A = this chain, B = another copy of it.
Amino acid sequence: MTLAAAPARLSTAASSFEADFVALLRGSATTDDAIEQRVRAILADVQQRGDTAVLEYTALFDGLRAPSLAALELTQADFAAAFDAIPAAQREALQAAAARVRSYHAAQKRACGESWSYRDADGTLLGQKVTPLDCVGIYVPGGKAAYPSSLLMNAIPAHVAGVQEIILVVPAPMRGSLATGGAGGQAAPGPGERNALVLAAAHVAGVTRAYTIGGAQAVAALAYGTQTLPRVDKITGPGNAYVACAKRHVFGTVGIDMIAGPSEILVLADGSTPPDWVAMDLFSQAEHDELAQSILLCPDAAYLDAVQHAIDRLLPTMPRAAIIAKSLNDRGALILTRDMPEACTISNRIAPEHLELSCQDPQRWEPLLRHAGAIFLGAYTSESLGDYCAGANHVLPTGGTARFSSPLGVYDFQKRSSLVEVSAAGAQTLGAIAAELAQGEGLQAHAQAAQMRLQPR
């Protein structure tokens, strides 16, 4: 069978554009009631029975039997051993990526994560103190699809923020278990399938504790605490539908990062980038997942043809060609625009997770781009460089949520406390204002608390 990928061709000048465009962006937002019910039951069970419940679900879903949660703990020695065992080239790449991610997030902390305050003329102090969360949980999916880069992108900002306890949960399902798509059955004792690169990444990222547990049971353990695990303040990291559902439910008891949807890329091109490069960038999004979305915007019709030819030529060479083809056929699009400003307008309507501005003089168009998780400027900036090692975070708002949310950052592992110190003199001015407004709202104790301070002792 020959695979072919033919992303939809749209043109902003076509009368059907508006309808086609809306259809293209329509997500597959489905909430599965069966998952919902199952997750609620698991959360309640872990909240009540703690370690015992976590062990039972781990045996059931991951096929992994352990006498205690402590037996599923990964130690710093495990991380170090994994790091030492991988090839030197991988070790160096991990270290180089971690160093760049760390220095980017340190710059971010200096730019927007420091405490600040000022004093009024009357001596009243106002400001905010910024402090790290005490304890966070990082979820990393297990088995074959485990992504060490994801561990770096979640743990390093927490570490840079100054979080003292960074707890990793990463399932290690046995072959043939329910979690790996197998039939399940009798659970066996053993370490389960561990991913050496993930453990090696934990070694360089600042993880302080780790357990080979996963699913909704791991989220519950982190959110409520168990006999072995402390309750964390926030849970971040990607996961399957059960994990996402569990995170949504525990939101409020703990903080969460976001509920990520399928990944997307938008390439906004002027036609000056080699078509092969753009085709491969579209592939690199599509290879994640059949639901992933790759869109190219360009005012040059001949260039869209050239990219389509590159797609045709390169697709058969790709190991994940089947996934790429399905993603591009179902959700991909090559969109012809009237000009670059119109392409920017369309991009703003999409509010993409990843936005490549693959053109000459990208700084000219960047100011027109109002909503995007990350903007990659210029032909040399492939999304994949950003995904792994440029330094910026690869955890980004999906599905148009870049309209109102931001990349994962140091700020997600900090919180702010307002500081107010009213001087005796300040209390005289402010007391009169507060009393007037409190009376207007019918809150007399508020008013009197202000008025009592009107006469300095």
Contacts and interface: CB of A to CB of B under 8 A. Distances in A.
Interface of A: 89-90, 92-94, 96-97, 104, 107-108, 111-114, 116, 118, 124-131, 133-134, 144, 147-149, 197, 233-234, 252, 254-255, 259, 274, 276-277, 280-281, 283-284, 286-288, 318-320, 324, 362, 366, 369-393, 396-397, 401-407, 409, 411, 415-424, 426-427, 430-434, 436-438, 440-450, 452-453, 457
B434 A387 contact: yes
B93 A417 contact: no
Nearest to A457: B274
21 contacts: A90-B440, A107-B116, A112-B114, A125-B377, A131-B371, A147-B441, A149-B437, A255-B401, A276-B452, A280-B445, A284-B446, A288-B443, A320-B443, A380-B422, A380-B453, A382-B450, A385-B453, A388-B438, A389-B433, A392-B418, A406-B416
Contact of A287 (B276, B446, B457): B446
A446 B384 contact: yes
A444 B320 contact: yes
A356 B420 CA distance: 10
A384 B449 contact: yes
B284 A449 contact: yes
A277 B104 CA distance: 48
A387 B434 CA distance: 8
A154 to B, nearest CB: 15
A142 to B, nearest CB: 14
Contacts of A125: 377
B133 A403 contact: yes
Given A287-B444, A385-B431, A445-B280, A407 B416 contact: yes
Given A104-B126, A280-B448, A370-B134, A401 B90 contact: no
Given A134-B403, A389-B434, A437-B149, A107 B97 contact: no
A136 B329 CA distance: 36
A418 B434 contact: no
Contacts of A371: 131, 415, 417
Number of identical protomers: 2
A445 B375 contact: no
Nearest to A452: B277
Contact of A407 (B107, B128, B233): B128
A127 to B, nearest CB: 8
B452 A280 contact: yes
A281 B449 contact: yes
Contacts of A401: 252, 255
A433 B388 contact: yes
A56 B369 CA distance: 39
A296 B422 CA distance: 20
Contact of A430 (B114, B389, B402, B415): B389
A222 to B, nearest CB: 12
Contact of A383 (B381, B389, B436, B449): B449
B452 A392 contact: no
Going nearest first, the 4 A-B pairs with the smallest beta carbon separation are: A255-B404, A111-B116, A93-B436, A377-B421
Given A284-B449, A385-B430, A405 B255 contact: yes
A104 B419 CA distance: 11
Nearest to A255: B404
Given A380-B427, A418-B374, A320 B390 contact: no
A104 B125 CA distance: 11
Contact of A374 (B116, B274, B376, B417): B417
Contacts of A112: 112-114, 116, 128, 130
Contacts of A366: 129, 419
Contacts of A442: 144, 319
A457 B125 CA distance: 57
Given A370-B134, A375-B417, A417-B373, A97 B383 contact: no
Contacts of A450: 382, 384-385, 388
A422 B104 contact: no
A384 B435 CA distance: 8
